[in-house]
Structure 1
Amino acid sequence: MGGRRASSGSVGFPGPSGPSGPSGSPEVGGDLLADLVELYQDLHAYPELSFAEHRTAAEIARRAAAYGYDVTPGVGRTGVVAVLGHGEGPTVLLRADFDALPVTERTGLPYASRTEGVMHACGHDMHVTCLLGALKLLADARARWRGRIVAVFQPAEEIGEGAQAMIDDGLFERFGTPDVVLGQHVAPLPTGMVACHAGPAFAATDSLKVVMYGKGAHGSRPETSVDPVVMAAATVMRLQTVVSREVPAGETAVVTVGSLRAGTVDNIIPDEAELRLSIRTYDEDIRTRVRAAVERIVRGEALVAGAEREPEFTALDAFPVLVNDEAAVARTMGAVAVALGDGQVVDPGPVTGSEDAGLFGTAAEAPVCYWLFGGCDPEAYATAAAAGTLDRDIPSNHSPRFAPEAAPAVTTGVTAMTAAALEWLGRPVT
């Protein structure tokens, strides 16, 4: 997939008759772009984990208020809602998340994380920056639209709890029910590009903790033990057959064991082992089938190993399938394509990552359009694509080396979000 770098050299931002791009949409550039890049680098340097995003939330609230929005902090614990109305018209919800991950950064950037073991490895700092940039452009161009903007800055996306926390805190009762939900996520695509799929677009996730119980012993006498390390290792290998042997070829599922912990030293066989799994699916029947297969295999390996105690299963994070409304995708991406240029909007197919942004649409009974935007240098992407090494050479979300190209990615994200919002907001009467 090719692409061009989004322009980062346009000047200024529009007032009612200020500069705009080829589509007539406001452009980000000049002093605003420089300010947004500085904000992005600051947010990146000071990441905060889920429901602990106090510094980030305070900066969001300060900036949104300065742009003229009515700001309410503390929605869903650490969430922020910024509202701007201008005449009668639709209510458009614009969403960004802002929590970080427990990852040690290895980008080598001068603005790398200053918090040990915590990193914006999924790009949520970029999401905040782009939404704030769009809010600034939309506020300055309010003569061109009618309606209400409800900007939702959501905490705790990484643990699948933030969207529901804001909904449970009366999001729609307090700020109005939206006519559409719009959101975006930076991805390892070329800057200047946007990718959006209609229908089931982001997978459901079921995260599990599994504890397998054995019988500890001295490492020199394994015959006196029921070794949970061997039990867990056999389980991990057997779980690899779930997708290849139990999921129909036309369906999609992913089973990943992301953590296996057992023991403390080399010469002691421990009593137990803990596995943490992530299951990704799009279809509810497949979701049920895969979960049942995982439990059957875990219990079976424990039985074969002679475990005297049943394994324990604990549900952790859970995300529903995010379904993009087909009509909303067509309308929104049509506007984004005009803003970014020919060939810059593509359909990536279903994405196996997960998102809780769809909960806003479900709770409001409103259409959702959620898309990816590029954060990768186009030349580096093209080189890796030509060599067939995209998976190896282009760091993806959750990698300790994930580092979007700051100015071009900001430009792409702000442009896409602004164009999308303007498409849904009402037009002034002329």
Structure 2
Amino acid sequence: MTHLPSNTGLQAPAAPEAGATVGQWLSWLESIHPAEIDLGLERVLEVFQRLFPRRPTARVITVAGTNGKGSTVAALETLLRTSGRQTGAYTSPHLVNYNERIRIDGTDVSDAALIAAFEEVEAARGSITLTYFEFGTLAAFVVLANAGVQDWILEVGLGGRLDAVNVIDADLAVITSVDVDHVAFLGTNREIIGLEKAGILRPGMPAIVADTDPPRSVLQEAVARQANLTRAGRDYTIEESSDALSATLNFQDRTIRLPAGPLPVQSVAAAVVAAQILEPATTDADTEAALAGVSAPGRFELLARHPDVYADVGHNPHAARWLCERLQSLETRGRKVHAVYAALADKDVQGVARAMAPVVDCWYLSGLDAPRGLTPEALETRLAPCKLNQVQSCNSVAEAITAAKGQAGVDDILIVFGSFFTVAEARTLLL
């Protein structure tokens, strides 16, 4: 057995005692590894093998991509349940409660099941250090295994190749999109980033690339890994209606209508293709009925009416371009769009603002009470070169929403976006 270092030499705090709450476990998890992110599979793979001497028998679907992962997972969960499958999903980050990260047949994991999984991982890891995300990923695997679900749908946290989710081989892999984000960890261009995301592909297993213009590195890696590749634009196509109220997916000999709901149509289409590959007997009518109500928290989510308040976790230029197009697809004639924007310091805020500028009439720049959150002054300074329309600075997301609602007419539109933290504050205030 390979010896794995236990720490940087500092004594790790003792694990929570019996009877500890989820909150106490999470506070402890934040303290047991010296780094928030420590890419690499050696440590987490060792603990995984201790927990699972034999690979779990469930079918595993792994989803990577710059944007659209959570939407793809949400749609695929619904579709597979429609086919009669029992599903377990693991996504990150959460909006309000950690339990949101793990769902069994669409329901958030209970505190009791989560704590039991934490205890099992802690007993297995011994002296091996795990990051917050690695520990949580292994705990999610334990929850899913204990629940006995048939399908595990796993969202990659960062990249793919070295992400903790990748310790288990995928029976089907999805790459939703490839764009520039998390450059400190993944690289500064799409080719390098694409190579990282393609690390989830497995020999002989089906793989879906939903990006219609994927980096060459993704395609080359698919060939090198001998994946059974299905590509958007080549093997399936999406035709959007002129009124933007629906789209049509053409795959193999099937034509399926996709509703213009809150999720990106590219993500929904990828989920449908995945479901058709996995469960080809599902009828088109059942698929369309399942999609009619599919949604995901924080993905163009309608939080309030009169004025309409939407929230979206989009935080990079690629996501902002989609968000701008989605807002433009609404009937906006005579309606002003008010944007509440709060972001983390390591994000391309100028790229995001420029992508949203064509549709936004008034900006409310907010401070963000979160690790790496920008103050309103810092955000306004960084966005000064963008010369945005009607800018107002606010100390908090709640203050910004209140200001925007005070200025907006009942028929106007408010969009709150910029990070998971931003949306979490909005949901807490409005729901």
TM bin, normalised by shorter chain, reads: under 0.3
The structure with more radius of gyration: 1
Higher RCO structure, 1 or 2 (CA under 8 Å, sep 6+): 1
Say which structure is richer in strand.
1
